[in-house]
Amino acid sequence: MNILVTGGAGYIGSHTVIELMNSGHQVAVVDNLANSCEKSLERAAEIVGREIPFYKADIRDREGLSGAMKAHEDRTGQAFDCCIHFAGLKSPNESIRIPLEYYDNNITGTQVLLGELIRHGCKNMIFSSSASVYGSPAVIPVTEECPKGQCTNPYGWTKSMLEQILTDLQTADPEWNIVLLRYFNPIGAHESGLIGEDPNGIPNNLMPYITQVAAGRRKELNIYGDDYDTPDGTGIRDYIHVVDLARGHVKALGAIGNKCGLAVYNLGTGRGYSVLEVVRAFEEANGVKIPYIIRERRAGDVAVSYSDPAKAERELGWKAQYGITDMCRDAWNWQRKNPDGLSGR
């Protein structure tokens, strides 16, 4: 298929571009580089051994986006068959401080994108959603039938609202095929160590914080709470290797090809690890000590969240292949080889 990848220079997008190209698909990336740099695509091109067409554009900029799509269609003589839509702002903490920017970027951006896709005759989309739409999950492991919950920050609400907008669109126009992929906790990096997670400033997420402690950039890990109702008191999450997640998108194209209408899938491993278990797994996989200190619980965190990924296996034929040791090894390999990331932020 000929695929428009928005946000393809980012963490998950760049890994997905590689898996798409390795599976024989053609891609074009649109990204405004707000949270990434072109180097990630140069590295991805090095991995696949082919050029990756890139158009710098903001998805909120109708003319810029349309121009990029047209330029690519003219260049290749092919219309887009599907859009994989990663572009958006993604920090829950930041979204509490600047909610309007999150609603503008994520919601307005997606609305402009949908309008342009329609104008260009493309009614297929795979959307990056998040386990955060479940709020504090009513059922563990979390199935797709678990009711959506109260989100704890504007970022989560943008995902929840976008799911609703996309659902309403598909109901209004059944020619649309839309796959909502609810990611659990992507970590790790491509095994080459050429691309990986490149956070801006102090990492919010657990694994990049751990790798920066390992690299000596930060003194110790702050563990947010050891009094949760879990076996060791620390929060439990479903960590998934970013390459497994990327492959989930390739499989989701099968559902689009089969005219799925609206479909929702969890992408996780189905196995939860506590923060302390991740720290231990990282130390064992890499032979590096991670000093930590127990802090207060972080506002908005839930105690336990892990997926039931059976639906994706049954319907898409997708199952995570990598375990926590692989994730820890690849995350450290990337950080070690790129101590300041790609953009040196």
Catalytic-residue membership of 292: no
- Select the residue interacting with ligand NAD from 130, 153, 234, 269 (CB under 6 A): 130
Q: Tell me which of 11, 155, 239, 273 is the catalytic residue.
A: 155
Residue 95 CB partners (closer than 8 Å, separation 6+): 89, 102, 153, 154, 155, 158
- The interface region with ligand NAD, picked from 44-52, 53-61, 214-222, 302-310 by CB under 6 A, is 53-61
Partner in contact with 35, chosen from ligand NAD, ligand UDP, none, beta carbon below 5 to 8 Å by kind: ligand NAD
| Cis, bond preceding 141 (omega within 30 deg of 0) | yes
133: contact with ligand NAD by CB under 6 A: no
User: What angle, 0 to 180 degrees and rounded to 10, lies between the N-to-C axes of helices 39-48 and 11-22?
Assistant: 20
Q: Which residues, including other chains, have CB under 8 Å from residue 337's CB and lie 6 or more apart? A: 193, 194
**Is residue 167 a contact point for ligand UDP (CB under 6 A)?**
no
- Residue located via tokens 């953009």: 343
Q: Does 204 bind ligand UDP (CB under 6 A)?
A: yes
Contact 210, 279 (CB under 8 A): yes
Question: In this complex, which beta carbon is closest to ligand UDP, that of residue 2 or of residue 200?
Answer: 200
Q: By CB under 6 A, is residue 128 in contact with ligand NAD?
A: yes
Q: Any contact of residue 195 with ligand UDP (CB under 6 A)?
A: no
- In angstroms, the first-to-last Cα distance of the chain is 35
222 scored as a contact of ligand UDP (CB under 6 A): yes
Tokens of 237: 């999450």
Residue 11 interacts with which of ligand NAD, ligand UDP, none, CB < 5 to 8 Å by class: ligand NAD
> Interhelix angle for 206-214 vs 324-337, to 10°?
50
DSSP 134: G
Q: Which stretch binds ligand UDP (CB under 6 A): 96-104, 108-116, 205-213, 256-264?
A: 205-213
Cα–Cα distance, 143 to 243 (Å, whole number): 22
Task: Examine residue 275 and tell whether it contacts ligand UDP (CB under 6 A).
Answer: yes
Over the Cα atoms of the chain, what is R_g? Answer: 19
301 binds, among ligand UDP, ligand NAD, none (CB under 5 to 8 A by kind): ligand UDP
> Of 152 and 233, which CB lies nearer to ligand NAD in the complex structure?
152
Among ligand NAD, ligand UDP, none, what does residue 190 contact (CB within 5–8 Å per kind)? none
